[in-house]
Structure 1
Amino acid sequence: MSVVVTLSASSSAQAEITAFKQAVAEESAKDAGIAAFYRGRNFEPIWTQNNGKDATRRNAFLQALSMARVHGLPAGKYDPNVFMADLGRVQNQRDLGRMEVQMSRLFVQYAQDISRGIVTPSKVDPGMVRKVSRFKSEDLLEAFAKSSPAGFLKNLAPKAPEYLALTKEKLTLEKQLERGGWGPTVNAKKLEPGASGNEVVTLRNRLIAMGYMGRSASQTYDVAMQKAVQLFQLTHGLSPDGVAGGATISEINVPVEGRLKSVMVAMERERWLNGLERGERHVWVNITDFHVRIIDDGKTTFETRSVVGKNTSDRQTPEFSDVMTHMVINPTWNVPRSIAVKEYLPMLKKNPNAVSHLRLINGSGQIVSREGQDFTQYSARNFPFDIKQPPSRGNALGLVKFMFPNRYNIYLHDTPAKDLFGRESRAFSHGCVRLRDPQDFAFALLARQQSDPEPYFKKILATGRETTVPLDQPVPVHIVYRTAITDPKGRTNYRRDVYGRDAKIFDAMQKAGVTLQAVQG
């Protein structure tokens, strides 16, 4: 005996609602945050109903997706045409329920990518220890459902002036890529004022194409070309001598694609900082630029050269943000354990009186005499002493250090090795950041709490005693790594990828679906 059940119009509609909600529940279960969002609204949709609100959300999201490429996001992943095709294949309410959740999942991924970055820094390189504050799926969807869709989506991308300038430079480079780049590369080891010939013409043409020189028919390395080379050198972190030596020619020969990658990685790095309050006053340390700056209300008010970590796996300066709380005048150098056992212990094994300017300290904090010590019995594992260098002008930390306590034991400090600041590339330290003008840096920091900071500082310095000076207003410190930076005049400056981190980031971005693309001008 068979039973035929005939549904009324109302019961049929109810069945469709039930099928839709059941599909939403099943599909959203794959993501706890999305599932919580839909449970909280009894599995009601925000995208797929034929009403004004859902249509407005859909249209706003489609418009945002169409701009994904502009931001250097994976264009294929966010192709609005793919999304529309998927929507067009919906056959029933269960399909529609699954599509509802898929749209939310795509929205959450897009929102995270454009506002907080595509890749996770620490997964790309161990030196990129920066923590990125990401949104919870539920919070994103809740906020979006209650907001003006177009406005919400527009506000996801970073609003920092640097991000906007980089986006503009990206478009400029993409147009240049469409035009075939900057022309042939320069095949010469060195070109200088007065030279002539084919390679000088090639250099001239590249400088013109890159915007460093006005149109010219000159076939000699004249004054105009010299000035153009100097400007190029200034904007690429090179000594501005006006001579196109090996380093300058190498940078001039970097193709459009190389600069485009730098810009797109810089945009990604800006997204990592998007959720971070930089501070009205903050210290900005750009590793690749070998400079430290104090920024007040978006403007550089102090700048000095720096030396950063050497390009070895154990010495590279890490990237992170913290807060400077104090400075130490006449500091003691507490030699890191790694340096003590890797560098100084081998010396002590050969000669117990080696590095006599350093003190051995036992577990009780007492100075230990070297007399009678057999250092050959010790290894990196069982070496029982701490090593310290007392305050002095020859101290490895110089006369002052600036502390933003962190787990990486990184800080800014003076150094007696002043000759390194004259180098073009300055990656020589064990990881900390050395300053060329540490006392002037101290004066600038103290000016907000001392009416006359210089004599105040020098009075403490004259005592020769280690003294901690708190900062009344702690200052955020951001250690960053940018190979593409825009200057106040709107020109993009480039730096070398000293640790190879940008290459790793772009590789990870490519694996996520990011591509280089030429566009018509």
Structure 2
Amino acid sequence: MTVLAAVFLLSVPAKAQVTPFMQAVAEAAASDPGIAAFYRANGYKPIWTGKGNKDRNRRSALLKALKNADDHALPVASYNTELLKANLRRITSKREPGKAEVEMSRIFLKYARDLQTGILTPSRVDSEIVRAVPLRDRTKLLMAFTKSNPTKFLRGLPPKAPEYARLLKAKVAMEKQLGRGGWGPTVPARSLKPGQSGSTVVALRNRLIAMGYMKRSASQSYDAAMQAAVQQFQLAHGLAADGVAGAGTMTEINRQIEERLPSVLVAIERERWMNLPRGKRHIWVNLTDFTATVVDNEKVTFRTRSVIGKNTADRRSPEFSDIMEYMEINPNWNVPRSISVKEYLPGMIASGGGSAGHLQLIDGRGRVVSRSSVNWAAYSARNFPYDLRQPPSRGNALGLVKFMFPNRHNIYLHDTPAKNLFAREVRAFSHGCIRLNDPFDFAYKLLAKQESDPVNYFQSILKSGRNTRVPLDEHVPVHLVYRTAFTDAKGRVHYRRDVYGRDAKIFNALRKAGVELRALRG
């Protein structure tokens, strides 16, 4: 007997007999504190392997749930159900039920964890996914299960968010389509436009019908119905919706269902990572969609285009959730140290302090230092003692307002003078923070909760030119997410580019964990 098992068995009442089953449970659970605590609390009694109806119902409910785990894009093989059933059938000693008992609890907890909060640990897949997954307490989970109807309890484990249910429905539909051969032949043309006809247009028509963007038709020309279908496809894929199947649109149309289904499976896993209340009002920034939205009671009430971090190691926008506490009108831009020494300091040293004149030098006491008093030749990136700051102005890198949810990543939402970038289809240009196309309207939306005239209130502060912090009376949750597949209220799946390659990493990790693409036939 291990030392830990012996310690656990000390909790058994003196008058109670320590049976081989109890001893086996204590030994098997010794390496798992959560399970050990549960059995210690319940007196080492069985919840799976007993002969009564309650234990039988729990076993049956769990085995049925595990059998259908791939409905939720979970790794069925990892639960070893066949081995578990074989071990239950081969019990020959008084100790073996104890081992089987603990093994069933382990499998139950693995399944519950996978289904509730995800199979993977996000940061282990990509260090820039710094999301805190809301893991459940293992001991409490077992206790709650034993006090509940097992079938209802297991059915209640998945996320309740409507998006999760819609993604599961889309997954099944795509698996059935895959079982029928997918979306059919690709379109053998680089591009097509309204007014054209012929075999390639027929191929495009058939492809759009198979994908669900067009009703059945015998038309062989690129007519108004096909143009509308192409526009719907473009809107669902983040493309300019001009109704012309240009080279970019055709590339996306010709992607096979086997390329799209992984995005849905990854989105399902990502939903599990966020299985927690998001806030009746919250801000949802989908990095791959290049949008920021305000969501009230699960409905989008405001939307604006965004620019996200450039796809380089030191600029990619991370994924996390936090709480927006205030906005800053006429902000200073306190230049991050990395930008100061990499992008500005070399030119300042070379010019004797003449370059980057829009930036102030700030000493350790927060005082502005005259450039003429600095011996520039004495400094390098290693020993430069000053911070750089850009005071409020229309040319300020943060524009005229920023929205703060203080975090260790120094990420926030803000205005920008570089308005031309919002016209781009792919908008990954920043140093990591999120730039907004309509920051004033975004501010008005937030202030409307606490000001009777949010526009005039905001504009009066703006016109003062003074750096002003405006607290939000009600703090707002902010979620920076990365969804290459997401649904709308009608259930249609929208797809976006994997701009940082994160979803490819996640899908590879899911496959290693045992998740498989599934084709449903019949």
TM-score bin (small chain): over 0.9
Residue 387 of structure 1 aligns to a residue in which SS?
strand
Residue 491 of structure 2 aligns to a residue in which SS?
coil
Task: Output aligned runs, 1:199-214, within 5 Å.
Answer: 199-214=200-215
Amino acid at match of 2:426: S
Amino acid at match of 1:482: R
Q: Post-superposition shift, 1:203?
A: 1.8
Residue 306 of structure 2 aligns to a residue in which SS?
strand
Q: What does residue 256 of structure 2 align with?
A: 255
Amino acid at match of 1:489: K
The 1:28/1:221 distance shift into structure 2, 3 A limit, reads same
For residues 68 and 160 of structure 2, the distance between their equivalents in structure 1, rounded to whole angstroms, comes to 16
Q: What does residue 315 of structure 1 align with?
A: 315
Residue 292 of structure 1 aligns to a residue in which SS?
strand
Amino acid at match of 1:43: Y
For residues 245 and 80 of structure 2, the distance between their equivalents in structure 1, rounded to whole angstroms, comes to 44
Give structure 1 regions of 4+ aligned residues with deviation exceeding 6 angstroms.
14-17
Residues 37-46 or 231-240, more deviating: 37-46
The 1:17/1:253 distance shift into structure 2, 3 A limit, reads farther
Amino acid at match of 1:336: P
Q: What does residue 288 of structure 1 align with?
A: 288
Task: Output aligned runs, 1:158-169, within 5 Å.
Answer: 158-169=159-170
2:185 is equivalent to residue 181 of structure 1:
no
Residue 128 of structure 2 aligns to a residue in which SS?
coil
Q: What does residue 332 of structure 1 align with?
A: 332
Q: What does residue 6 of structure 1 align with?
A: none
For residues 431 and 287 of structure 1, the distance between their equivalents in structure 2, rounded to whole angstroms, comes to 11
For residues 438 and 72 of structure 1, the distance between their equivalents in structure 2, rounded to whole angstroms, comes to 39
Residue 392 of structure 1 aligns to a residue in which SS?
coil
Tell me if structure 1 keeps the 8 A contact 2:487–2:493.
yes
Tell me if structure 2 keeps the 8 A contact 1:68–1:78.
no
The 1:393/1:116 distance shift into structure 2, 3 A limit, reads same
Q: Post-superposition shift, 1:86?
A: 2.7
Task: Output aligned runs, 1:7-406, within 5 Å.
Answer: 18-78=19-79, 80-274=81-275, 276-351=276-351, 352-371=353-372, 373-406=374-407
Tell me if structure 1 keeps the 8 A contact 2:291–2:305.
yes
Q: Post-superposition shift, 1:80?
A: 4.0
For residues 347 and 251 of structure 1, the distance between their equivalents in structure 2, rounded to whole angstroms, comes to 43
Q: What does residue 409 of structure 1 align with?
A: 410
Q: Post-superposition shift, 1:16?
A: 11
For residues 347 and 189 of structure 2, the distance between their equivalents in structure 1, rounded to whole angstroms, comes to 45
1:434-461 per-position Cα deviation (integer Å, ceiling 9, x unaligned): 1111000000000010011000100011
Q: What does residue 7 of structure 2 align with?
A: none
Residue 20 of structure 1 aligns to a residue in which SS?
helix
Tell me if structure 2 keeps the 8 A contact 1:65–1:79.
no
**Structure 2: any 5+ residue segments left out of the alignment?**
1-14
For residues 517 and 131 of structure 2, the distance between their equivalents in structure 1, rounded to whole angstroms, comes to 26
For residues 240 and 278 of structure 2, the distance between their equivalents in structure 1, rounded to whole angstroms, comes to 31
1:489-511 per-position Cα deviation (integer Å, ceiling 9, x unaligned): 22111111111111111111111
Tell me if structure 2 keeps the 8 A contact 1:16–1:93.
no
Residue 371 of structure 1 aligns to a residue in which SS?
helix
Amino acid at match of 2:330: N
Q: Post-superposition shift, 1:127?
A: 1.0
Tell me if structure 2 keeps the 8 A contact 1:17–1:93.
no
For residues 375 and 170 of structure 2, the distance between their equivalents in structure 1, rounded to whole angstroms, comes to 62
For residues 468 and 129 of structure 1, the distance between their equivalents in structure 2, rounded to whole angstroms, comes to 28
Tell me if structure 2 keeps the 8 A contact 1:311–1:498.
yes
What is the number of equivalent residue pairs in this alignment? 507
For residues 184 and 314 of structure 1, the distance between their equivalents in structure 2, rounded to whole angstroms, comes to 41
Residues 191-200 or 123-132, more deviating: 191-200
Q: What does residue 456 of structure 2 align with?
A: 455
For residues 228 and 377 of structure 2, the distance between their equivalents in structure 1, rounded to whole angstroms, comes to 60
For residues 54 and 380 of structure 1, the distance between their equivalents in structure 2, rounded to whole angstroms, comes to 67
1:277-303 per-position Cα deviation (integer Å, ceiling 9, x unaligned): 211100011001111110111101111
For residues 114 and 354 of structure 2, the distance between their equivalents in structure 1, rounded to whole angstroms, comes to 57
Tell me if structure 2 keeps the 8 A contact 1:173–1:260.
yes
Amino acid at match of 2:208: L
1:466-506 per-position Cα deviation (integer Å, ceiling 9, x unaligned): 00000000000011111111112221111111111111111
Residue 77 of structure 1 aligns to a residue in which SS?
helix
Task: Output aligned runs, 1:501-512, within 5 Å.
Answer: 501-512=502-513
Amino acid at match of 1:125: D
For residues 376 and 243 of structure 2, the distance between their equivalents in structure 1, rounded to whole angstroms, comes to 54
Q: TM-score, normalised by structure 1?
A: 0.95
RMSD: 1.6
Q: What does residue 493 of structure 1 align with?
A: 494
1:88-119 per-position Cα deviation (integer Å, ceiling 9, x unaligned): 12222211111000000000100000000000
Residues 366-375 or 354-363, more deviating: 366-375
1:240-276 per-position Cα deviation (integer Å, ceiling 9, x unaligned): 01111222112112211121111111010110111x2
1:38-75 per-position Cα deviation (integer Å, ceiling 9, x unaligned): 11222111000110110111111112112210000001
1:203-258 per-position Cα deviation (integer Å, ceiling 9, x unaligned): 22211100111122333322221111110000111110111122211211221112
Q: Post-superposition shift, 1:190?
A: 2.0
Q: Post-superposition shift, 1:354?
A: 1.2
For residues 367 and 78 of structure 2, the distance between their equivalents in structure 1, rounded to whole angstroms, comes to 63
Tell me if structure 1 keeps the 8 A contact 2:84–2:100.
no
Q: Post-superposition shift, 1:182?
A: 0.7
Q: Post-superposition shift, 1:381?
A: 1.9
Paired-residue identity, %: 62
Amino acid at match of 1:36: A
Q: Post-superposition shift, 1:520?
A: 1.8
For residues 23 and 490 of structure 2, the distance between their equivalents in structure 1, rounded to whole angstroms, comes to 57
Residues 343-352 or 411-420, more deviating: 343-352
Tell me if structure 2 keeps the 8 A contact 1:360–1:367.
yes
Q: What does residue 473 of structure 1 align with?
A: 474
Residue 180 of structure 1 aligns to a residue in which SS?
coil
For residues 414 and 127 of structure 1, the distance between their equivalents in structure 2, rounded to whole angstroms, comes to 24
Amino acid at match of 2:288: T
Tell me if structure 1 keeps the 8 A contact 2:170–2:491.
no
Tell me if structure 2 keeps the 8 A contact 1:87–1:99.
yes
Q: Post-superposition shift, 1:137?
A: 2.0
For residues 371 and 510 of structure 1, the distance between their equivalents in structure 2, rounded to whole angstroms, comes to 60
Q: Post-superposition shift, 1:186?
A: 2.6
